[in-house]
C-alpha cells in the first residue's frame, strides 16, 4: 500500500512544508499553512515531454480572442463584451447571493450548446430553478457530477461552447488523497479545467466559495491560473446585487454591474441612481446625497447619519454600515477639532442606503455634513448633493471624475452641489465651492 504523505500547504502560494510553522518560507504569509494529505508523486517513465506549439507573434490571429456576448447586459459590461473562448472565469460570492441563478440565466441566453455541471445540487433542484427562470432549453445539458473525471467525460460527450462548474470546491480528483475543497484538490482541479478550456477553445465558468472575510476560498494560485475573477456582492436582505471584476486579462477591472433580484431571477438595473433614491425622505435631518464613483460608473447614493446624546462620562459609540468605520472616526475628530462641532458626547450611526458600500474618499464631505445635520437637527436642502475628500487639517480636497459625478446629479434633477474649491463648472448645476469643512457647514447652514 502506498503511504500517504502529510504536509502543510500554504493557502497563499501553495508551497508544501514538512511541518507547521507560523510563516510560509516561500511567500512570507503568516498563519497560512493548512494540513493536507498528499498523494504519491507521478512516476517518470523516461519518455521526452511533447513539443510545444510554436508560432511567430505577427502570425497569431488576435480575433480568436474576441469576446462573445452573453445576452446579459450588466455581465457583458463587467466582462468588457462577454466571454472569451478558451478562457476560465471564477465567480465568487457568499452563499445565497445568486451565483447559480446568474450562471443559469447565462446558459439560457447562450445561442449554442452549453453544459451545467452541478456538483452541489441535485438535477431536480436545478430543473426547478430553471423553470422559474425560464431557462429550460433543448441545448442546455446537465451533469450531476462531483468527480473531475465525470465532469471531463460529460464535456467530451456533449462538446459544449460554454461550461459552468458549480462549484470548484465540490469537485474532486479521485487520484488525490485530499478531501474535496482542500487546497490541493482546488488547485489540481482548476488547472485541469484551464487545460481543458485551452485544448477545446471553450469558455469555462467556475463557481467559487468565499471565506468569512469575503475573499475567494482556496489557494491564491486559483486566482493566478484563471483569466478572470468576478466578485458577486450584496446584502441578502436587499434586492440589489453588485458584480465586479477583481481580475480580467481581456479588459478593464473598473466596471460595475448592477442587478436586482426578483422572483423571475436577476434583472439588470438600467438607472441605479433612481433606484437608490426612490424612497428617499428629504425632510429628515442627517440625510445627504453623494455622487460617488464605483469604477467608471457614477452613482447617486443617500448617506444617512443619526446622533444620540450619551450620559456624562460614557464614551460615545461609532457605528458605520456601508462605510469605513476608521474613516468615520477620522471625520468625527475633524468635525470636533476643526469645525468646533461637539460630537464626542454623542452616539454616532452612519449608513448608506440600499446595501451599497462606499469606501472612496470622495464621500468624506457628505458623511461629515450628514453627521452635522443630525447633530444640530436641521435637514439639508433636498436638491443638494455633496462631494469632496476631507483632510486632517479640515481642508476639502478635489476628487477624481468630478465632472461625471455632477453631470449625473444634474441629470437626476439636483440643482446645487457643495464641492471643493478647485472643482470646475458643470452645466445644469450650481456649485458652492468651499475650502474647509467649517466653510461647508456654514454654506449648508449647519453651524450652531
Per-residue pLDDT of the chain (448 residues; tens, 9 = 90+): 455 567 777 766 667 777 777 788 777 777 777 776 655 555 555 556 566 678 888 888 777 779 999 999 999 999 999 999 999 999 998 888 999 999 999 999 999 999 999 999 999 999 999 999 999 999 999 999 999 999 999 999 999 999 999 989 999 998 887 888 888 888 899 999 999 999 999 999 999 988 766 667 665 778 889 999 999 988 777 788 999 999 999 999 989 999 999 988 999 998 889 888 988 888 899 999 999 998 888 999 999 999 999 988 888 899 999 999 999 999 999 999 999 999 999 999 999 988 788 989 999 999 999 999 999 999 999 999 999 999 999 999 999 999 999 999 999 999 999 999 999 999 999 999 999 999 999 999 887 6
The Cα–Cα gap between 312 and 307 comes to 15
Cell of 302: 443617500
Q: Beta strand 346-352 with 318-321: parallel, antiparallel or unpaired?
A: parallel
Cell numbers of 397, please?
Answer: 480636497
| pTM for this model (two decimals) | 0.81
- Cα first-last separation, the chain: 82
135/140 Cα distance (integer angstroms): 9
Edge-to-edge strands, sheet with 265-268: 140-143, 114-118, 162-166, 203-208, 88-93, 228-233, 240-248, 256-262, 265-268
Angle of CA points 59, 65, 69, to nearest 5°: 155
- Please tell me whether residue 89 adopts helix, strand or coil conformation: strand
Rounded Cα distance, 436 and 438, in Å: 5
Rg over alpha carbons for the chain, rounded to the nearest Å, is: 26
Query: What cell does 341 get?
Result: 462641532
Q: Which bin fits 31, alpha (ψ -120 to 50), beta or left (φ > 0)?
A: left
User: How is domain 275-443 classified at the CATH fold level?
Assistant: Ribosomal Protein S5; domain 2 (3.30.230)
Nine cell digits for residue 382: 433636498
User: Which H helix or E strand runs over 294?
Assistant: strand 287-294
Residue 124 main-chain phi, psi, to 5 deg: -65, -35
> In 3D, which of 255, 179, 193 has the Cα closest to residue 222?
193
Backbone angles phi, psi at 320, to 5 degrees: -120, 130
What pLDDT shows up at residue 1?
46
Phi-psi label, residue 265: left if phi above 0, alpha if psi -120 to 50, beta otherwise: left
For the domain 66-270, what is the CATH code? 3.40.50.300
Q: Is 151 helix (H, G, I), strand (E, B) or coil?
A: helix
Domain coordinates in residue numbering, the chain = 5-38, 66-270, 275-443
pLDDT at 35: 72
pLDDT recorded at residue 4: 58
From CA 235, how far away is CA 224, in angstroms rounded?
A: 28
275-443: same fold as 66-270?
A: no
The grid coordinates of residue 59 equal 502570425
The values of phi and psi at residue 372, to 5°, are -65, -40
pLDDT score for 113: 95
pLDDT of the residue at 96: 87
> In terms of DSSP bridges, do strands 228-233 and 240-248 run parallel, antiparallel, or are they unpaired?
antiparallel
Tell which residue, 275, 324, 328, 268, has the closest CA to residue 301: 275
Place of cell 449608513: 351
Residues 214, 216, 220, CA angle at the centre, nearest 5°? Answer: 135
- For residue 265, what are the β-bridge partners? 262
Amino acid at each position: 500500500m502506498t503511504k500517504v504523505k502529510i504536509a502543510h500547504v500554504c493557502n497563499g502560494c501553495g508551497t508544501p512544508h514538512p511541518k507547521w510553522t507560523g510563516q510560509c518560507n516561500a511567500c512570507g504569509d503568516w498563519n497560512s499553512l493548512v494540513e493536507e494529505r498528499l498523494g504519491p508523486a507521478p512516476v517518470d517513465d523516461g519518455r521526452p515531454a511533447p513539443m510545444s506549439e510554436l508560432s511567430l507573434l505577427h502570425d497569431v490571429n488576435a480575433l480568436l480572442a474576441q469576446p462573445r456576448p452573453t445576452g446579459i447586459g450588466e455581465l457583458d459590461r463587467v466582462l468588457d463584451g462577454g466571454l472569451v473562448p478558451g478562457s476560465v472565469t471564477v465567480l465568487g460570492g457568499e452563499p445565497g447571493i445568486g451565483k447559480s441563478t446568474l450562471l443559469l440565466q447565462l446558459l439560457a441566453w447562450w445561442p449554442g450548446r452549453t453544459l451545467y455541471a452541478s456538483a452541489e445540487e441535485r438535477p431536480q433542484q436545478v430543473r426547478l430553478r430553471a423553470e422559474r427562470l425560464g431557462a429550460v432549453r433543448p441545448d442546455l445539458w446537465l451533469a450531476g457530477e462531483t468527480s473531475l473525471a465525470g465532469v471531463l467525460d460529460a464535456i467530451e460527450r456533449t462538446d459544449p461552447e460554454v461550461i459552468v462548474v458549480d462549484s470548484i470546491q465540490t469537485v474532486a480528483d479521485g487520484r488525490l488523497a485530499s478531501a474535496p475543497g482542500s487546497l490541493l484538490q482546488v488547485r489540481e482541479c482548476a488547472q485541469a479545467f484551464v487545460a481543458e478550456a485551452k485544448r477545446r477553445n471553450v469558455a469555462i465558468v467556475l463557481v467559487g466559495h468565499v471565506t468569512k472575510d469575503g475573499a475567494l476560498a482556496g489557494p491564491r494560485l486559483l486566482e493566478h491560473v484563471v483569466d478572470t475573477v468576478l466578485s458577486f456582492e450584496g446584502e441578502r436582505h436587499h434586492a440589489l446585487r453588485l458584480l465586479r471584476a477583481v481580475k480580467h486579462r481581456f479588459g478593464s477591472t473598473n466596471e460595475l454591474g448592477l442587478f436586482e433580484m426578483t422572483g423571475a431571477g436577476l434583472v439588470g438595473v438600467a438607472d441605479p441612481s433612481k433606484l437608490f433614491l426612490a424612497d428617499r425622505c428629504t425632510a429628515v435631518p442627517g440625510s445627504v446625497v453623494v455622487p460617488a464613483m464605483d469604477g467608471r460608473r457614477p452613482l447617486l447614493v443617500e448617506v444617512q447619519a443619526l446622533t444620540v446624546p450619551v450620559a456624562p462620562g460614557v464614551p460615545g459609540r461609532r457605528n458605520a454600515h456601508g462605510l469605513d468605520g476608521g474613516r468615520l472616526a477620522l471625520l468625527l475628530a475633524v468635525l470636533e477639532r476643526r469645525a468646533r462641532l461637539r460630537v464626542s458626547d454623542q452616539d454616532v450611526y452612519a449608513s448608506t442606503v440600499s446595501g451599497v458600500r462606499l469606501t472612496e474618499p470622495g464621500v468624506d464631505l457628505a458623511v461629515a455634513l450628514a453627521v452635522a445635520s443630525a447633530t444640530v437637527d436641521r435637514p439639508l436642502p433636498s436638491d443638494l448633493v455633496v462631494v469632496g475628500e476631507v483632510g486632517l487639517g479640515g481642508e476639502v480636497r478635489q476628487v477624481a471624475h468630478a465632472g461625471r459625478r455632477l453631470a449625473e446629479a444634474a441629470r437626476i434633477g439636483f440643482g446645487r452641489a457643495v464641492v471643493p474649491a478647485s472643482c470646475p463648472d458643470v452645466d445644469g448645476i450650481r456649485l458652492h465651492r468651499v475650502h474647509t469643512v467649517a466653510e461647508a457647514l456654514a454654506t449648508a447652514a449647519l453651524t450652531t
